[in-house]
Amino acid sequence: MYLLLAFLLVPLIEIALFIQVGGAIGLWPTLAIVILTAILGTIMVRQQGRHAIANLQRSFSELQNPTKPLADGAMILFSGALLLTPGFFTDALGFALLMPPVRAVVFDFISKRVKVQRFEMGQRPDPRRPQPRDTVIDGDYSEVSEENGKPGGPSGWSSH
């Protein structure tokens, strides 16, 4: 129901804002603002996206809970979609989501309403299955060079 309401209200708000701003400053400055916010938003989303990916990789490498970095990345992605959508209301929401304090408030709001059933990092050995004692795999190899020639006959791995 809320999604339907958003799909109805957001375009109406955008149209009303376009009429108000266009009437106050004119058509071309209004269009210039919309284009500039899209360009500026793209630059900011790229910068913060790189930062979010670095935080996510750090949480994985340090075996920490990746929920917050994943949520930040998702909100940055959503803000990018809002900033690329022409309009003043969507731009305001998109720029707001690019601010870390706003993302923290949204994360807290959502995390209070989501219940995590299970979370684990890495693989735990299953006590019911026998575990290998040694993870070393021995093997021999030999280098094949062009000088040795090609093997005779088709190998079945190529189409010629």
The reported pLDDT for the residue numbered 120 is 67
What is the full per-residue pLDDT of the chain (160 aa) written as tens digits? 888 998 999 999 999 999 999 999 999 999 999 999 989 999 999 999 999 999 999 988 888 888 899 999 999 999 999 998 888 999 999 999 999 999 999 999 998 888 877 766 666 556 666 666 667 777 887 777 665 555 555 555 665 5
Q: Which of 56, 97, 57, 93 is nearest to 76 (CA)?
A: 97
Q: Which of 34, 47, 48, 49 is nearest to 83 (CA)?
A: 34
Q: Considering Cα of 74, then 78, then 84, then 90, what sign does the dihedral take?
A: negative
Helices (H), the chain: 2-25, 27-61, 67-84, 88-97, 100-111
Q: pTM to 2 decimals?
A: 0.68
Q: Which amino acid makes up residue 121? A: M
Q: Which of 69, 71, 70, 78 is nearest to 96 (CA)?
A: 78
The reported pLDDT for the residue numbered 18 is 92
Q: Which of 118, 115, 81, 123 is nearest to 98 (CA)?
A: 81
The reported pLDDT for the residue numbered 146 is 60
Whole-angstrom Cα distance, residue 33 to residue 26?
A: 11
The reported pLDDT for the residue numbered 154 is 58
